[in-house]
Amino acid sequence: MSDARMLSVLSSLSHVARQLDVAHSSRPSANGNCVKLDMNENPFPLPAIVKESAMAALERHHLYPENDNIALREAAACAYGFSPDQVIAGNGSSELLGLIYKAFLVPGDTVAMLSPGFSFNRRLAMLQDAHFLEIGWIENNSLPINRLLFGRAGVAKFIVLANPNNPTGTFVPIADIERLVAQSERLIVLDEAYVDFAPDNALRLVNRYPNLLLLRTFSKSYGVAGVRVGFGFGHPELVGRLRTMQSLFSMNVISQAVGLSILAHRDAYAENRRHIVRERERVARALSAHRFAVLPSEANFVLARVPPGHDGAWWQAALQERNVLVAFFPEEGLENYIRISIGTKVQMEAFLSAVSDVSVSQT
């Protein structure tokens, strides 16, 4: 297409679309031998019975999946103690989060989030041409209820919280979450992607407060990040509107089958979760011995301030040279941190060995 014609096409795009960066095709730089601890994935294989459900679903590849994910919603409602009209199922909780932004924001609106938080929310706000307001944590990582309800955040159409939080791993007591929801007349979106590694959850609040939407994903504790299964729980009026906005056949036959099987066999994952919690504490202690400052975490990762002398980007590169991938965040305040997903014992030993090697090379 000629430059003149392309300029004509671009000029017809919406104000928001013209602001978007162009996505370029790229390949990950890591090789297949890397220890991958950068995406908070669960490293364990599927239980055999869940894997069998996925293979059986392949036999239905020529058929459309069930629209509105009815069977999956009914199974989730039974498993978590809701009615089916209080449940939405989707292509991971990220799809559901995107629906919430589309449903409740118009250009010029404001959404508030605790910062640092899940950066995907910034993009979702931008796509709606909405203002994205980040509210900082207060001392001891307490929930800043007044800051979220009043002041600059007082105009926010809704508030997004993640508990445990990503990327910090911070867990807020459910009583604090309830105080926020009870005092607010606005929608509170609570993302519990990592809650299976934490001591408590907020499911019991959903039926008490119609302004609460709670999100869950099977990507973390159930190890199906590549299959994409997520849920939202809330008042039927809110959930019903989100379901109306959902794409036709938003989930495929494999994700529906795997989701149903996981819901029927959640106990099969208990030992995997216990392992991750044990390794999380062991790795935190080991990193502290290497002069890292590790934040308390109730998720399947830890965020650690690197030792003095280098920043997080340097440590990320140094570990990648040793075939270990960790996450680094360039945002202000996180420059000196790396985030490490908790994997198998073998993976974590490889990570700690690489950290030791880097440390020794600096002495």
Longest dimension (CA), the chain: 61
Collect all residues with Cβ–Cβ distance below 8 Å to 41 and sequence separation of at least 6: 219, 220, 223, 225, 341
What's the Rg (C-alpha) of the chain? 21
65: preceding bond cis by omega (within 30 degrees) = no
What tokens appear for 162 in the block? 């993640």
CA gap 221, 44 in Å, rounded: 10
CA gap 243, 241 in Å, rounded: 5
> Which of 76, 168, 156 minimizes the C-alpha distance to 115?
168
* pLDDT tens, residue by residue, 266-302: 999 999 999 999 999 999 999 999 999 999 999 999 9
CA gap 94, 191 in Å, rounded: 10
Q: Report whether 245 contacts 103 (CB < 8 A).
A: yes
Residues of the chain with pLDDT under 70: 1-2, 5-6, 8-32, 363
The domains of the chain are located at 29-45+270-361, 48-264
Collect all residues with Cβ–Cβ distance below 8 Å to 167 and sequence separation of at least 6: 116, 301, 303, 327, 329, 334, 337, 339
Domains 29-45+270-361 and 48-264 share a fold: no
pTM for the model stands at 0.92
CA gap 24, 2 in Å, rounded: 20
What pLDDT score was predicted for residue 295? 96
What does the DSSP 8-state code read for residue 313?
Answer: H
Which CATH architecture group holds 48-264? 3-Layer(aba) Sandwich (3.40)
Per the listing, tokens 């020794």 go with: 360
| Alpha helix (H) residue ranges in the chain | 3-11, 15-19, 48-58, 70-80, 92-104, 120-127, 145-149, 174-183, 236-245, 253-264, 270-289, 312-321, 345-361
C-alpha distances (whole Å) from 68 to each of 89, 96, 99, 111, 256 are 8, 13, 14, 28, 11
Amino acid in position 312 = G
Strand 110-115 to 131-136 pairing: parallel
What pLDDT score was predicted for residue 27? 46
- Count CB-CB contacts under 10 A for residue 200: 15
What pLDDT score was predicted for residue 8? 64
CATH annotation of 29-45+270-361: 3.90.1150.10
Collect all residues with Cβ–Cβ distance below 8 Å to 244 and sequence separation of at least 6: none
Amino acid in position 84 = P
What pLDDT score was predicted for residue 10? 62
Length of the chain: 363
Strand 35-36 to 324-325 pairing: parallel
- Determine phi and psi for 162, rounding to 5 degrees: -120, 130
